[in-house]
């Protein structure tokens, strides 16, 4: 069995954007996929709405204005409940599978423990996805057939951008539940900006992102509770001129989480996000270029 038949009509993912990249920016929307294969749904104990609880609904559309500015976007069609490319390739929960997982799998990560590995066990607030254990080949086929090609494409986009412009900025686009609260104050953030605690992006880039959104009137939090996942950590190497920032958008700003419908605030938020990306694109390049090698 391979994952390919699940996406024989719709692509598993695609690169969007007009030909001719104008700025050293690449966007990734790994969790906004909305194609739920019938074969997958037949494996699940959840109905068509419940299984969408982990989906970053419409995030690819919210950030679509960046493509008109001259930045490509890698957008998933496969849903996060089916496969999570913002994890290590082999973060697997052995309790999910009928056969033993390979010894090289990371079975003890906090994400696996929480049911949110590369092949997730749950959605939303702890709802189990599957009726029964899966054949191990189900995970292998999704990882080999979709996960690896997705990351190969993302790496290719970033490498080409870096070669052309001398540096590259990856904006990893996500959403979070409307009811989230942060810290002792219980603040309800509109955005959480993650840079792996300063390790995945230049401070100037993070600061500009936070300051621009705050100036628009949004409540912005930095790194807590979302500091960035595998994509941010893996691709962000600011000393080499490779920067990765994760942007989490509160779903309450733009959609009804119960009906999965866009709200009246959608267009205004999309306009603000286009303005944010435009502002980041105007940052002085010397703030984002690779650091010079130290003299011996």
At 212-247, the pLDDT tens digits run 999 999 999 999 999 999 999 999 999 999 999 999
Per-residue CA distances from 267 to 62, 190, 232, 247, 270 (Å): 8, 16, 27, 18, 5
Query: What's the rounded Cα separation, in Å, for the pair 73 and 62?
Result: 12
Of residues 186 and 119, more confidence is placed in 119
Does 294 have pLDDT greater than 70?
no
pLDDT band at 1 (very low <50, low <70, confident <90, very high): very low
Residues counted in the chain: 296
The pLDDT assigned to 176 comes to 96
Query: What's the rounded Cα separation, in Å, for the pair 108 and 126?
Result: 18
**% residues pLDDT > 90 (the chain):** 90
The pLDDT assigned to 185 comes to 77
Query: What's the rounded Cα separation, in Å, for the pair 159 and 13?
Result: 19
Architecture of the domain defined by 4-83+140-282: 3-Layer(aba) Sandwich (3.40)
Does 108 have pLDDT greater than 60?
yes
pLDDT band at 184 (very low <50, low <70, confident <90, very high): confident
**38 contact partners, CB below 8 Å, separation of at least 6:** none
Does 182 have pLDDT greater than 90?
no
For the chain, the domains span 4-83+140-282
36 within 8 A of 98, measured Cβ to Cβ? no
Query: What's the rounded Cα separation, in Å, for the pair 220 and 214?
Result: 6
Count of CB atoms within 10 A of residue 109's CB?
18
The pLDDT assigned to 101 comes to 97
Task: Give the pLDDT mean for 120-138.
Answer: 94
Does 169 have pLDDT greater than 90?
yes
Query: What's the rounded Cα separation, in Å, for the pair 272 and 257?
Result: 21
Does 295 have pLDDT greater than 60?
no
DSSP assignments along 15-32, one per residue: EES-SS--SSEEEEETT-
- Residue with token string 């030909």: 19
78 within 8 A of 108, measured Cβ to Cβ? no
**% residues pLDDT > 70 (the chain):** 97
Strands (E), 78-167: 122-123, 127-128
DSSP 104: T
Task: Extract the tokens encoding 205.
Answer: 């880039």
């Amino acid at each position: 069995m391979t994952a390919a038949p699940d996406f024989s009509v719709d692509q598993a993912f695609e690169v969007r954007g007009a030909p001719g990249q104008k700025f050293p920016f690449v966007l990734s929307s790994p969790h906004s996929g909305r194609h739920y294969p019938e074969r997958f749904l037949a494996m699940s104990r959840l109905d068509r709405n419940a299984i969408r609880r982990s989906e970053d609904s419409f995030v690819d559309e919210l950030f679509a204005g960046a493509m008109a500015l001259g930045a490509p976007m890698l957008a998933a069609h496969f849903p996060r409940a089916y496969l999570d490319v913002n994890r290590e390739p082999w973060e697997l929960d052995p309790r999910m599978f009928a056969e033993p997982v390979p010894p090289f799998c990371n079975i003890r990560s906090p994400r696996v423990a929480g049911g949110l590995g590369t092949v997730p066990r749950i959605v939303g607030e702890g709802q189990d996805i599957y009726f029964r254990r899966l054949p191990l080949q189900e995970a292998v086929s999704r990882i080999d057939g979709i996960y690896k090609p997705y990351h190969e494409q993302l790496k290719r986009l970033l490498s080409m951008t870096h070669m052309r412009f001398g540096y590259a900025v990856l904006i990893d686009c996500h959403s979070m539940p409307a009811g989230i609260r942060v810290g002792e104050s219980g603040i309800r953030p509109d955005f959480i900006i993650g840079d792996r605690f300063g390790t995945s992006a230049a401070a100037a880039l993070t600061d500009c992102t936070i300051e621009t959104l705050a100036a628009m009137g949004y409540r912005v939090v930095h790194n807590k509770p979302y500091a960035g996942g595998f994509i941010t950590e893996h691709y962000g190497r600011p000393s080499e001129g490779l920067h990765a920032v994760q942007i989490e958008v509160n779903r309450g700003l733009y959609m009804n989480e119960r009906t999965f419908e866009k709200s009246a605030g959608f267009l205004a938020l999309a306009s603000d996000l286009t303005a944010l990306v435009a502002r980041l694109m105007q940052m002085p390049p010397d703030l984002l270029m690779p650091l010079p090698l130290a003299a011996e």
